[in-house]
Chains A and B, each alone.
Chain A
Amino acid sequence: MSTATEPVTPVAVAPSRGMRLTGWAANYIDERTSASTAVKALGRKIFPDHWSFMLGEVALYSFVVILLSGTFLTFFFDPSMTEVEYEGSYVPLQGIPMSVAYQSSLDISFEVRGGLLMRQVHHWAALLFLAAIGLHMMRVFFTGAFRKPRELNWVIGFLLFVLAMALGFTGYSLPDDLLSGNGLRIIDGMIKAVPLAGAWISYLLFGNEFPGTDIIPRLYVLHILLLPAILVALIGAHMVLLIVNKHTQFAGPGNTNDNVVGAPVMPVFAAKAGGFFFLVFGVIVLIASLFTINPIWNYGPYDPSPVSAGTQPDWYIGFADGALRLIPPGLEIVVFGYTVSFNVLIPLVGLLVFLAAAALYPFLEAWVTGDKREHHIAERPRNNPTRTAIGAAGVTFYSGLWAAASSDLIATHFRLSIEGVIGALQFVTVAGPFIAYFITKRVCLALMRRDREIALHGYESGRIVRLPGGEYIEVHEQLDDYERWKLVSFEEYQPIMIRPDSRGRITARQRMRARLSRWFFEDRISPVTQRELESQRH
């Protein structure tokens, strides 16, 4: 094991022409930018190696691909909603009145060489961007990588996720085809359900009654200017905090809370991460050249009367669409003449609460544990059963809603009735999280118990030995210290004891915290201690 201060010694050679040029250029830049400071500080920064640490990079690189392909698309796209008659090359739309926005999207697909490829790259990359963000968030959550000092970066990451959804939805709407128009129609319906101001917000947003002639240009400005600008700024902040906090690492021999073990930026990490950018880009282009995404020409121009079976949003909005689908009938009341649509407000508010809970979870956990130390070791999910179970419950809830957005396709593809599918998904969404919580917690505890068993007694080698007395036993192979370390080096917490404060009272806040901490840490399994290990050996 070497340390950062002990790099491979460069072999001294007489400077070649190329090196002299590099030296001159480096000097030129440094004298004007002080770049050497940054290179010195960052050039040998260490990044730990684990596949799950690359998920954020997938998101980042797909975003770069989105920027590149999106810029190409802006050269050809015209967001106007002026009505024109299509005269392009796609036969089944010739002579059909449509908006300029839809026409220019068709032209990008059918008249511009590589235009369809760029559209498909852009859209596939957007789906990948959000999927990678989702998986990255799950990794951070389940390994507790949001703990101090990274709570703020979790919140920034959460905002990035929300912004990415907003960017995705505004982009989905721009082609002004039947699918995206019906998507906007649903947004309009949801906005109208907002108490007091719903009709007005919709009216102002659409610049008239739905659909109006302003919404596409407005969404376009949001999509290519305002939202990406905020997103880029937040990505910057996300990266800066990543560098300041340094990356987490999994427990491993030699890895401590006070060091980072891995590859230096220059050259190994730079080569891997740089190469990985090209791999992500390449995979997206490969998918885009082989698989159709959003064939807008099938949908036709937006018209408020037609609709297609299987009208769904892109996957990342699916959970919201699913929430709308799962509400039982009749949830609307009229109070003093004013209409309150709980059938829309319950999903709307429910999802906001769900998202807020995800954003604020790190603060809740920090309050419950009262742990103010910095944590740089990523936990194995099993070693924090309650958190993992909460996460599994959240994922189940989200998945139930997400699946509900494709209830009609589930019904047709599995030959079920749509009413049955929706009933089942209502059950999954309401009861599923509790079941998932219970099962996950039990599984985590069982895994911890097994880890303990293995750490103490070794693992079953599969070798059966006959003892002199005739007894058969299976030989247990002991772990070496390095392997065992992974199984025994985790944090253990226990429920808080309620204590009266200085004035001899027990506040409701304290009581609440005690209750939460009991919920979190009531069931737990302690790591094997040195004493236990030694007594086992003798």
Chain B
Amino acid sequence: MSKRIETDRTMHSTSPASTRRAGRRHPLAAASLLVVGLLATGGAYALATTSATAETTTASAQLVEEGGKLFAANCATCHGLQAAGTAAGPSLIGVGALAVDFQVGTGRMPAAASGPQAEVKPVQFTQEQIDAMGAWVAELAPGPAVPPERYVSGDGDAALGAQLFRINCAMCHNVAGAGGALTQGKYAPSLAGVDPVHVYGAMATGPQNMPVFNDLNLTPEEKNDIITYLKYLEQNPSVGGFDLGALGPVSEGLFIWIFGLGGLVAVTIWLTAKSN
């Protein structure tokens, strides 16, 4: 019931979600988005489920079919034709549309060369192609779906979000979201400028070595609080001035040696040179 209402509401108004995403979309594709995108994402997400895994997505058969073709052409080499995984890539059964949205939408997939971890690259597909592949993957088995706008709006509780961020995220991503090192050349990337949907997607799906923060560990509202905090950091540059990468004492130490003491040494040279 409520699913229907949600879909109707978003169908008639241009929802903030679609406005936001328009920026990344090929202009010719705009017309199909209202139909396709909302069916695939907004409608299906109206009900917050209480189970840890089951996030079912309903999508039109046409979309699924298109996604299947894209998958076969671009992903099946590594993940297998039925996405069951090969030696080169993991199984995608049950990862959900959100994992596809995150991996493909940030350019991590299709992966370029094998390295410690997949890198962010220019995005290879339009948003509706990504959504189509997501729909196809979601058809294989239920998994996390792309969240509705209200969970990625960034209008939650920044203080709670900051607290949750420190406990669950900061050890890898740094308290200011500047990123950090992991083992064997892997790293937790910087979170500056990351799309809220992708932040949400990373938490919900646990890409690569990141742990999964399912909805019973961090509820969708709590995920939104974390997004709110990250948004606060982005919108409010450090009050003390340039933040030197927010890397903490290391960059401060290098700065004082190179520019502070270096500058003063230059001053001493001027000071002790004989005037002409």
A residues near B (Cβ < 8 Å) are 49-55, 58, 91-96, 109-110, 116, 120, 124, 127-128, 131-132, 135, 178-179, 272, 275-276, 279-280, 283-284, 287-295, 298-300, 303, 305-316, 318, 405-409, 411-412, 415-420
Sample (24) of A-B pairs whose CB atoms are under 8 Å apart: A92-B232, A92-B233, A109-B240, A131-B260, A272-B271, A275-B271, A279-B264, A283-B264, A287-B260, A288-B241, A291-B240, A292-B239, A292-B244, A295-B240, A295-B246, A308-B171, A308-B248, A309-B181, A315-B253, A318-B253, A409-B181, A418-B181, A418-B182, A419-B183
Q: With A276-B271, A309-B181, A310-B178 known to touch, is A93 a contact of B170 (CB < 8 Å)? A: no
Name the distance in Å between A53's Cβ and chain B's nearest Cβ.
8
Which chain B residue shows the least CB distance to A276? Answer: B271
Query: Which chain A residues border B184 with CB–CB below 8 Å?
Result: 417-419
When distances are taken between beta carbons in the complex, the residues of chain B under 8 Å from A135 are 261, 265
CB of A62 to closest CB in B, whole Å: 9
Of the candidates A58, A179, A412, the one whose C-beta lies within 8 Å of that of B179 is: A412
Interface stretch, picked from B5-13, B34-42, B79-87, B160-168, is B160-168
Contact of A131 among B172, B232, B244, B261 (CB under 8 A): B261
Query: Contact partner of B175 among A293, A308, A411, CB < 8 A?
Result: A308
Task: Flag if A309 contacts B166 (CB, 8 Å).
Answer: no
Do the beta carbons of A116 and B240 come within 8 Å of each other? yes
A291 contact set on B, CB distance < 8 A: 240-242, 244, 255
Distance (Å) between the CB of A445 and the closest chain B CB?
27
- Within 8 Å of chain A (Cβ to Cβ): is B158? yes
Question: Please, which residue of chain B has its CB at the minimum distance from the CB of A91?
Answer: B158
- Interface of B toward A, CB cutoff 8 Å: 116, 158-159, 161-163, 166-167, 170-176, 178-185, 187-188, 229, 232-233, 238-244, 246-250, 252-257, 259-261, 263-265, 267-269, 271-272
Shortest CB-to-CB span from A169 to chain B, Å, is 12
Tell me, in angstroms, the Cα distance from A60 to B100 when the chains sit together: 59
The listed residue (B175, B241, B264, B269) touching A299 by CB distance below 8 A is B175
Judge whether A310 and B162 touch: CB under 8 Å. no
A52 to B271, CA, bound (A): 11
CA distance A146 to B244 in the complex (A): 37
The interface residues of chain A lying within 8 Å CB-to-CB of B256 are 124, 127-128, 131, 287, 315
List the A side residues contacting B173 at CB < 8 Å. Answer: 309
* Measured CA separation A292–B250 after assembly (Å): 13
Instruction: Name the A residues within 8 Å of B187 (CB-CB).
Output: 411-412
Q: How far is the CA of A438 from the CA of B229 in the complex (A)?
A: 53
Say which residue of B167, B250, B271 sits within 8 Å of A312 (CB atoms): B250
Residues from chain B with Cβ under 8 Å of A318 in the complex: 249-250, 253
A92 vs chain B, min Cβ distance (A) = 4
* A292/B238 in contact, CB under 8 A: yes
Complexed CA–CA distance, A310 and B181 (Å): 8
CA distance A407 to B269 in the complex (A): 34
CB–CB B264/A305 < 8 A: no
Q: Evaluate contact between B269 and A51: CB separation under 8 angstroms.
A: yes
Q: Report the nearest B residue to A127, measured CB to CB.
A: B256
How many angstroms from the CA of A46 to the CA of B175 in the assembled complex? 53
Flag if A58 contacts B261 (CB, 8 Å).
yes
Interface centre among B167, B176, B187, B260 (most CB of A within 10 A): B260
Cβ–Cβ contact A128 & B159, under 8 A: no
Q: By the criterion CB–CB under 8 Å, are B170 and A307 in contact?
A: yes
Q: How far is the CA of A116 from the CA of B229 in the complex (A)?
A: 22
Residues in A neighbouring B229, C-beta threshold 8 A: 92
Cα of A416 to Cα of B272 in the assembled complex, Å: 43
The one of B238, B241, B268 that contacts A51, using a Cβ cutoff of 8 Å: B268
How far apart sit A322 and B159, CA to CA, in the bound complex (Å)? 34
Task: Tell me if A91 and B232 are in contact (CB < 8 A).
Answer: yes
A55, B268: Cβ atoms closer than 8 Å: yes
CB distance from A288 to the nearest CB of B (A): 8
Bound complex: CA A264 to CA B276 (Å) = 20
Most interface-central of A92, A132, A287, A290 (chain B CB within 10 A): A92
Given known pairs A92-B232, A295-B240, the reply for A178 and B175 (CB within 8 Å) is: yes
- Complex Cα–Cα for A44 and B265 (A): 26
Minimal beta-carbon separation of A366 from chain B (angstroms) = 30
Residues of A within 8 A of B252 (CB): 127, 293-294, 314-315
Task: Return the contact of A179 from the options B180, B185, B248, B260 (Cβ within 8 A).
Answer: B248
Q: Does A51 lie within 8 Å of B271, measured CB to CB?
A: yes
A406-B250, A412-B179 known; A92 vs B241 contact (CB < 8 Å):
no
Q: A124-B260, A127-B260, A418-B183 are in contact. Are A292 and B272 (CB under 8 A)?
A: no
- Name the CB-closest residue of A to B163: A96
Min CB distance, A110 to chain B, in Å?
Answer: 7
Once the chains bind, are A110 and B239 in contact (CB under 8 Å)?
yes
Given contacts A116-B239, A287-B259, A290-B242, 4 further A-B contacts (CB under 8 A): A96-B162, A96-B163, A275-B271, A418-B185
Identify the interface centre among B175, B239, B265, B272: most chain A CB within 10 Å of its CB.
B175
Contact of A314 among B253, B260, B264 (CB under 8 A): B253
A295 / chain B contacts, CB cutoff of 8 Å: 176, 238, 240, 243, 246
- CB pair A312 B249 closer than 8 Å: yes
Residues of A within 8 A of B167 (CB): 303, 305-306
Are B247 and A310 in contact (CB-based, < 8 A)?
A: yes
C-alpha gap A110/B238 in the complex (Å)? 12
Bound CA span A251–B19, Å: 74
B271 adjacent to A309 (CB under 8 Å): no
Separation of A4 and B98 alpha carbons in the complex (Å): 83
Are A309 and B172 interface neighbours, CB within 8 A?
A: yes
B92: min CB distance to chain A, Å: 27
B4 to chain A, nearest CB (A): 37
* Closest residue on chain A to residue B244 by CB atoms: A291
What chain B residues lie within 8 Å of A109 (beta carbons)?
A: 239-240
Contact B257 A95 (CB under 8 A): no
